[in-house]
């Protein structure tokens, strides 16, 4: 149990140290020198320009070394502590140690300047050639892609137009047949309506004739009844 608690404490303490060290390293590398450089420039302290120029040159060399080594040495805490102490040391007394250190390193740089210039020129030419090759490849690939895209679009367009033409050719005869069928249906409906009207007129005439015959029968029956009544009246008078 005690060993587990010790492991937890050591883990969190190391984590806290890494976080604090990370922020402290960034403050020493960037925030403090940027602030002091702007302070010196705003107050026109020209005697300190050389110091801060020397600091930025040394810091750039150190950052370049880290970049070339792919930050592999940053996994070692000893290297990071030494790097942090070195950057802090060259900033002491308005970066006076930077000017002193660069003054001692400058003769070595001057002795090997020709070799360094050759290496830099080779790197520059290789970078330019690689950049131009990349641009040429991008241009050729983009032109090929544009040509392929345009051809595919044209083929798709013509295929769609052919399908539309086939559809319209198949649709027009069916529409003509539908129109003829509709005309035939309309003619049949008209003939049926004529027949129905004729039948209706015949039925109406028949009904009129039947009604007239019924009225004639009623009149004859009424006349017969009147004649019968008159005969009865004459018979009664004769008896009396």
Average pLDDT (158-185) is 63
Given pLDDT bands bounded at 50, 70 and 90, which one contains residue 161?
Answer: confident
User: Residues 101, 106, 110, CA angle at the centre, nearest 5°?
Assistant: 170
Q: How far is CA 69 from CA 56, 76, 84, 224, in A?
A: 20, 13, 17, 145
Given pLDDT bands bounded at 50, 70 and 90, which one contains residue 182?
Answer: low
61 contacts: CB under 8 Å, gap ≥ 6: none
Is the sign of the CA dihedral 61, 66, 67, 69 positive or negative?
A: positive
Q: Which of 71-75, 84-88, 202-206 has the highest mean pLDDT?
A: 84-88
CA separation for the pair 179, 176 (Å, rounded): 5
Number of H helices, E strands in the chain: 6, 0
Average pLDDT (194-203) is 50
Given pLDDT bands bounded at 50, 70 and 90, which one contains residue 17?
Answer: confident
| pLDDT score recorded for residue 234 | 54
Given pLDDT bands bounded at 50, 70 and 90, which one contains residue 74?
Answer: confident
């Amino acid at each position: 149990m005690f060993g587990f608690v010790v492991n937890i404490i050591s883990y969190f303490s190391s984590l806290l140290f890494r976080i604090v060290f990370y922020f402290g390293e960034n403050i020493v590398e960037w925030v403090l020198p940027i602030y002091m450089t702007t302070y010196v420039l705003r107050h026109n302290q020209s005697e300190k320009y050389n110091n801060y120029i020397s600091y930025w040159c040394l810091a750039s060399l150190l950052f370049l070394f880290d970049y070339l080594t792919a930050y592999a040495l940053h996994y070692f805490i000893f290297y990071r502590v030494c790097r942090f102490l070195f950057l802090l040391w060259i900033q002491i007394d308005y970066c006076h140690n930077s000017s002193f250190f660069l003054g001692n390193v400058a003769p070595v740089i001057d002795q090997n300047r020709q070799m360094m210039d050759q290496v830099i020129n080779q790197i520059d030419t290789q970078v330019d050639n690689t950049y131009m090759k990349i641009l040429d490849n991008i241009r050729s690939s983009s032109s090929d892609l544009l040509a392929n895209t345009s051809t595919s679009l044209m083929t798709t367009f013509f295929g769609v137009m052919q399908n539309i033409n086939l559809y319209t050719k198949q649709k027009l005869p069916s529409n003509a047949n539908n129109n003829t069928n509709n005309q035939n249906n309309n003619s049949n409906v008209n003939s049926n309506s004529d027949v129905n009207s004729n039948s209706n007129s015949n039925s109406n005439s028949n009904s009129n004739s039947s009604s007239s015959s019924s009225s004639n029968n009623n009149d004859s029956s009424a006349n017969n009844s009147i004649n019968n009544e008159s005969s009865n009246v004459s018979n009664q008078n004769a008896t009396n």
